[in-house]
Structure 1
Amino acid sequence: MGHLIHIVIILAIFLPDGIYGKAPRKIVGGTNAAITEFPWMVSVMNWKQHFCGGALVSTRIVITAAHCLCKTNERTNTVTMFDKAALTIATGSDNSRHHNRVYEIERMEVHPSYTGKPPLVLHDLGIITMTKEAVLDATVQVIRLPTEYCDAGQLATVLGWGYLANKGGATSEWLQKAPVITLSNEDCLQRLPYPIGPDHICGWYPDGVGFCDGDSGGPLILNKELVGVVSMGYDCGSGFPDIYTRVHSYLPWIRRVLRRRYY
């Protein structure tokens, strides 16, 4: 579990630490980011410790990765939701150890077609409803959903807290940002040792930049819109592309949930 060996254990490297398994992915090769620059960024916490990233898309709704909210039985391909009482949402701070406001969770749900079984993990998207509306200010705002399909050749930004180097090392106390160049799926498939689907965004950047253990569920941002969610990767910052869930593909489902849940 501690090493990225072959694609049969790819999903295992994203299972969250402190509930059922290993830590999700975090940023390698990033730089410090101010929460006022990305006020929609939230921390999904497990017993008061940072655990996954997420993005505030309404005053009560957070979008994250499905695998941040459930575990998968690979034999039966069924999912079991984590205990929502163990998780909370922290807003308004770029420091993972000191939080502005913390909210309890009313409801968690994953996309009904989510498949957490590698090598092809599909529909890796989860939605959290908080018990109270977030207090909006300079450090807490709502991000827009994507208005256009994210094409190849775009320069986006990924955010997260955590490991600053591959193979362990120190986690970041401060929010990190890193550039991401989006690739076509055809180009991506030539660079990866495992398959991806049409509802994925493939992202890459040179010089060992990429997400790593602890940043699952974090946002991929383009033009101040949430275009992707950190899903899966192959060996942190190693030059292989990283894979995000394409938010644009799931707008009908997201909007149904938002209408139902106090948008």
Structure 2
Amino acid sequence: MSKFYFLLLFLCLANADPVKQHGSQKPSLDRRIIGGSVASITDFPYQLSFQDWGAHICGAAIIGSYWAVSAAHCFNNAPTPRLRAGTAQLGVGGTVHEVDRYVLHEQFNSWSMDNDIALLHVVTPFQFSSSVQPIGLPSQGQVVAAGTQAVVSGWGLTSADGSEDSSVLLYLNTVVFSQTQCNSFYSDYGGLASGMMCSGYAEAGKDACQGDSGGPLASGGKLVGIVSWGDGCGKAGRPGVYTDVAYYRNWISSNSGI
């Protein structure tokens, strides 16, 4: 079975916008939030800006005092990763945390986007407040039911043909699709692999996009997805594809102790 890439709302890759493909086609990484609304950081206190050389390249989410989670594909060009916490303004305010080590999933495949997950450990801990808080994690294998409401956030592009990230944090309410529906949406890519899920809308105009990659998809106060890949941004019948966090819950625990 071939596979493919994605989403969301607030997702990443500053260096390129490859054509989305999966398996025989390489998934595209241009994920940003399209059709979203301005967010307050106190409503998304787990949201992080994943930076390299001071520039935003992806999103990430706080899961513990020293740990954050993002997408493995965000490390393609990130030799000096840092995380900015506690601010809705891109590149302004909050606190900046140097990353001293990170763990990419050992079976991450940059072509198929399988196992698109990474953990980041910071030198100085996140100081929790109303604008800086960890997000809860689902249990291993916990299934998010089709039709469940979720929300994705990030500073990615706000139009499919845009060239600049949003200067303010945006969010988009989405709907989780069943795996059967996701496989139907991406049947020409061979469907989705285990460890992937999709959320968004069947109609055009709302999605995550470039700059949102690695960012959080939350539902019920828990991190259920990580913006991974998709076929363009905001296309009809192409909802965002996310890393299914519940599928990797034990991996997160074994590598971070959380």
Alignment of 1:12-161 (within 5 A): 13-14=28-29, 25-70=31-76, 82-83=78-79, 86-118=80-112, 121-147=113-139, 148-161=142-155
The answer to whether the Cα contact below 8 Å between 1:62 and 1:128 also exists between their aligned partners in 2 is yes
The answer to whether the Cα contact below 8 Å between 2:20 and 2:229 also exists between their aligned partners in 1 is no
Alignment of 1:185-200 (within 5 A): 185-192=179-186, 193-194=188-189, 195-200=191-196
Q: Secondary structure at the match of 2:172?
A: strand
CA distance in 1, matches of 2:208, 2:136: 22
The answer to whether the Cα contact below 8 Å between 1:182 and 1:202 also exists between their aligned partners in 2 is yes
TM-score by length of 2: 0.85
What are the superposed Cα offsets for residues 90-111 of structure 1, whole Å, 9 maximum, x if unpaired? 0000011303100101101111
CA distance in 1, matches of 2:67, 2:17: 33
Change (3 A) 1:188 1:99: same
Q: Which amino acid aligns with 2:180?
A: E
Count the aligned residue pairs.
236
What are the superposed Cα offsets for residues 211-250 of structure 1, whole Å, 9 maximum, x if unpaired? 1111110001001100010111001111212110100011
TM-score by length of 1: 0.84
CA distance in 1, matches of 2:101, 2:21: 35
Instruction: Quote how far apart the aligned CAs of 1:162 are.
Output: 2.1
Question: Which consecutive aligned stretches of 4+ in structure 1 deviate over 3 angstroms post-superposition?
Answer: 1-11
The answer to whether the Cα contact below 8 Å between 2:199 and 2:239 also exists between their aligned partners in 1 is yes
The answer to whether the Cα contact below 8 Å between 1:26 and 1:211 also exists between their aligned partners in 2 is yes
Q: Which amino acid aligns with 1:135?
A: Q
Change (3 A) 1:150 1:5: closer
CA distance in 2, matches of 1:57, 1:150: 19
CA distance in 2, matches of 1:198, 1:28: 26
Q: Gaps spanning 5+ residues in structure 2: where? A: 1-15
CA distance in 2, matches of 1:151, 1:142: 23
What are the superposed Cα offsets for residues 70-125 of structure 1, whole Å, 9 maximum, x if unpaired? 47xxxxxxxxxx42xx211100000113031001011011111111113xx21110
* Alignment equivalent of 2:199, drawn from 197, 203, 210: 203
Instruction: Quote how far apart the aligned CAs of 1:202 are.
Output: 1.1
What are the superposed Cα offsets for residues 3-56 of structure 1, whole Å, 9 maximum, x if unpaired? 737656644x42xxxxxxxxx522111111100001010010111111110000
Other-structure match for 1:215: 212
CA distance in 1, matches of 2:51, 2:25: 24
CA distance in 1, matches of 2:109, 2:117: 10
Higher RCO structure, 1 or 2 (CA under 8 Å, sep 6+): 2
Instruction: Quote how far apart the aligned CAs of 1:170 are.
Output: 4.2
CA distance in 2, matches of 1:235, 1:151: 25
Q: Percent identity of the aligned residues?
A: 29
CA distance in 2, matches of 1:188, 1:158: 17
The answer to whether the Cα contact below 8 Å between 1:10 and 1:234 also exists between their aligned partners in 2 is no
The answer to whether the Cα contact below 8 Å between 1:69 and 1:108 also exists between their aligned partners in 2 is no
Q: Gaps spanning 5+ residues in structure 1: where? A: 15-23, 72-81
Other-structure match for 1:242: 240
Instruction: Quote how far apart the aligned CAs of 1:207 are.
Output: 4.4
Change (3 A) 1:95 1:10: farther
CA distance in 1, matches of 2:119, 2:21: 30
Instruction: Quote how far apart the aligned CAs of 1:145 are.
Output: 0.5
